[in-house]
Every structure is written in structure tokens, then in C-alpha cells.
Amino acid sequence: MSDIKKVVLAYSGGLDTSIILKWLQDTYGCEVVTFTADIGQGEEVEPARAKAEAMGVKEIYIEDLREEFARDYVFPMFRANTVYEGEYLLGTSIARPLIAKRLVEIAEETGADAIAHGATGKGNDQVRFELGAYALKPDIKVIAPWREWDLLSREKLMNYAREHDIPVDFAKAGKKSPYSMDANLLHISYEGGILEDPWAEPESDMWRWTVAPEQAPDQPSCLELDFRNGDIVAIDGQAMTPAQVMTHLNRVGGENGIGRDDIVENRYVGMKSRGCYETPAGTIMLKAHRAMESLTLDREVAHLKDELMPRYASLIYNGYWWSPERRMLQAMIDESQQTVNGSVRLKLYKGNVIVVGRKSETDSLFDERIATFEEDEGAYNQKDAEGFIKLNALRLRIAARKRK
């Protein structure tokens, strides 16, 4: 511990990280640098400055990373149509490599000896933060208080805060929140409370971003999304940055009850965990992107992408964003997106994302002359199908003769 003179702490200003800040000062006798990131969680981050100052912090980093998060992490992930275990759109997972990167960069800028985070010893986030940090700075020291201290209950945390005059809103903190929540531009997640019983239905007032589908408007909302190289660049003809795209789709999607999920997932540390998620923008983006690819991607390229996607999703979920294998897959995915250009028209209606049109002036592989059910004027010789079928059936016919 005597080797640690300065630590960069991922700091939200909430109860847990405020206690961690004081605990680091007392336990390690070190200077603490705080880092607070705005990645679209929907809450003001500037109040964290006053809280950190009140605890004697001299170096305070508060950064708006929404555009970087959307542009360099979320959008590349969605080029792969990434879904973990068939359901989870990886809202928490994809935020961790960015935070890890900035923790390491700030440690270098400030001459810090270590970084610290507030992830528990049961979850995935400790893995994601630390794998990212070690990949970017191999010799970095990591402090994870939840794996070291004995403050393993809310009562002990509150007592510690009182004993050390930690500036926490005790009136608010004294009421146990029924859920553990994490939010960013891509999603908001809910865990704990009654959700620890997989049979229990989530309470209707838990959801914050979306209306219930049955209470959504009776008229659909219509959108036209323009794609360039696999990324959405405009909505209804208005050019937007990645963060603006996601903000807009979160609002419209939430109004139409889009993006609720109730999932039991397999954590990397070995346990199953039940979580509920609201991912309006991500749900819309995934549906629209697949529609755009259906028109512009070669069949075998599309199928190969689908085969590799589960591996790519697991890499992100398990914290390997900065690994060489993820970078390799990303290069392949990005290359495939050079022709994913055009527009997709959608209807959002009571929890459903409905594709009602897609077009590409430059890269469509759809040939109406060949696909038509009407006379194709010789564009496709149907007699060719006979030989195609017989050649593909050859091994099946040989095997069937052998069985007889």
C-alpha cells in the first residue's frame, strides 16, 4: 500500500464511490484523482465536482464522452448486429472499455500509480474494467475496494459515511433503492430487488425510458433512416451525429414502447443473473441495420457475419474490447460495411419496430428483373435450376441408395 501515492477513481458522486474515495484516502493514505464521465446517463455530472472538492480532491476530471461513446464504441458494435445470447444488446458492456481507456490515460497524465473502480467481486464490470486497463497499460495497478474491504452491506456503508462525514444525501440514501441501475446512451439496466426472482414480473413503475406498449399511441411513428458505410447518418433527411441519432431514437422509441427486455444471462464469472433493460435506440438501430444489409450485402458475407457475431458479442460482454481478436473481427466487419448504404423506412407501433421499405441507389443487389414473379424476359433461365438441384442432391441420392 505504501507504493500507492496517487489513484484515479471512476467516480459518480453517489454513495458507493463517495465512500470509496474516503476509503482510499484512509486505507492507502494516497491522493485521489476523480474521473466522472457523461456517456448519456441522463443525469447531471457536474455536481460530482462539488462533492469531490468537499472531500479534498485537487484533480477532478468531468468529461462529456457521449459522441466518442456513440461513434467509436456503439456504432462499430452495431455494424456487426451484435446481440449476446440472442437477447442482450450489451448496453453496459460496451461502455466499460471507454471508461477503462480514460482511467488509464488520466493516470498517465497525472502520474498516478493506480486506478480504482466501484465494481463488485460478483459482477462482470470488474473484469471489463481491468481487462481493458491491462490491455492498454500492462503494468497498471488496480484497486477494487469491494474485493478488499468488509463494508459488504448497505448498513455498514451508511455507518461508514456517517462516521467519516462523507457528504451524502442521507434522506435519500437511507431509503433502499429496489434496483441497481446503470444508464448510458444505449440503455438503462435494472437488477436486484424483486428481479432476483426470475418468476416475478417487473413492477410497472420500474421502467423509466419507455411507456408500456399497451399504453403507447394508437398511431404509428414513421422514420426514415439513412445509412452510410453501415452507420446511420440522418433521420428523416436531417443529418445527425451518432450521439444525436441515439438521443432521437431513444426519445421516439421510448414514446412507442420500444426496447424493453427481461433477460436471464450468463455472467462471465459463472453465475446466472436476471436483468431488465430498456434499449429503445439500439432496438431500432438493429432492426434497421439488418434491413439495410439484406439489400446490400452478398449472401455469403451476410451469413459469415451472422456466424461470427456470437463470438464477437461474447468478446464484448466478457471485456475483451481491446483484444487483438476483437480488433481483427472489427476490421472484417468494417470492410463488409462499405456497401451498406441507402435508406430504411420504419414504423414504430406499440413496442414493435416494423420495416416497411428499404432502398439503395448505389449498392442494392436486388434485381427486380430476376426476382419478379412475372415474365422476366430471359433474365433468369428456370431450366438451369434442374441441374443445380441434381448436383446438390447427388450425395443425398448416393447415401439413400446405400441405405437401401
Total of domains in the chain: 3
Q: How confident is the model at residue 171 (pLDDT cuts 50, 70, 90)?
A: very low
pLDDT digits (tens, 9 = 90+) for 205-234: 999 999 999 999 999 999 999 999 999 999
Q: How confident is the model at residue 132 (pLDDT cuts 50, 70, 90)?
A: very high
CB 57 within 8 A of CB 287: no
The predicted structure's pLDDT at residue 179? 85
CB 189 within 8 A of CB 181: yes
25 Cβ partners below 8 Å, 6+ apart?
Answer: 32, 55, 56
Task: Report whether pLDDT(174) > 70.
Answer: no
pLDDT digits (tens, 9 = 90+) for 237-278: 999 999 999 999 999 999 999 999 999 999 999 999 999 999
Kindly state whether residue 239 falls inside one of the protein's structural domains. Answer: yes
CB 269 within 8 A of CB 122: yes
Q: What is the Cα–Cα distance from 106 to 98, expressed in whole angstroms?
A: 12
Sequence letter at residue 14: G
Catalytic residues: 16, 96, 125, 180
Q: What is the pTM of this model?
A: 0.94
Kindly state whether residue 85 falls inside one of the protein's structural domains. Answer: no
Q: Parallel, antiparallel, or unpaired: how do β-strands 114-116 and 6-10 relate?
A: parallel
Kindly state whether residue 276 falls inside one of the protein's structural domains. Answer: yes
pLDDT digits (tens, 9 = 90+) for 60-75: 999 999 999 999 999 9
Out of 176, 210, 231, pick the residue that ends a domain. Answer: 176
Q: What is the Cα–Cα distance from 263 to 330, expressed in whole angstroms?
A: 26
Residues 272 and 374 in one domain: no
Sequence letter at residue 246: M
pLDDT digits (tens, 9 = 90+) for 316-325: 999 999 999 9
pLDDT digits (tens, 9 = 90+) for 22-72: 999 999 999 999 999 999 998 889 999 999 999 999 999 999 999 999 999
- Residue 98, all three cell numbers: 471507454
Residues 56 and 136 in one domain: yes
Task: Report whether pLDDT(2) > 70.
Answer: no
Kindly state whether residue 278 falls inside one of the protein's structural domains. Answer: yes
Residues 285 and 390 in one domain: no
Task: Report whether pLDDT(136) > 80.
Answer: yes
The predicted structure's pLDDT at residue 180? 87
In total, the chain counts a number of residues equal to 404
Kindly state whether residue 215 falls inside one of the protein's structural domains. Answer: yes
The predicted structure's pLDDT at residue 254? 98
Residue 26 is part of a domain; what is its CATH number? Answer: 3.40.50.620
Q: Parallel, antiparallel, or unpaired: how do β-strands 60-64 and 31-38 relate?
A: parallel
Residue 187 belongs to what domain range? 182-297+340-359
Name the least confident of 150-164, 249-263, 276-290, 386-400. 150-164
Task: Report whether pLDDT(194) > 50.
Answer: yes
Q: Output the CA–CA distances (angstroms, integers) from residue 101 to 92, 95, 96, 136, 181, in the order listed.
A: 15, 10, 9, 7, 22
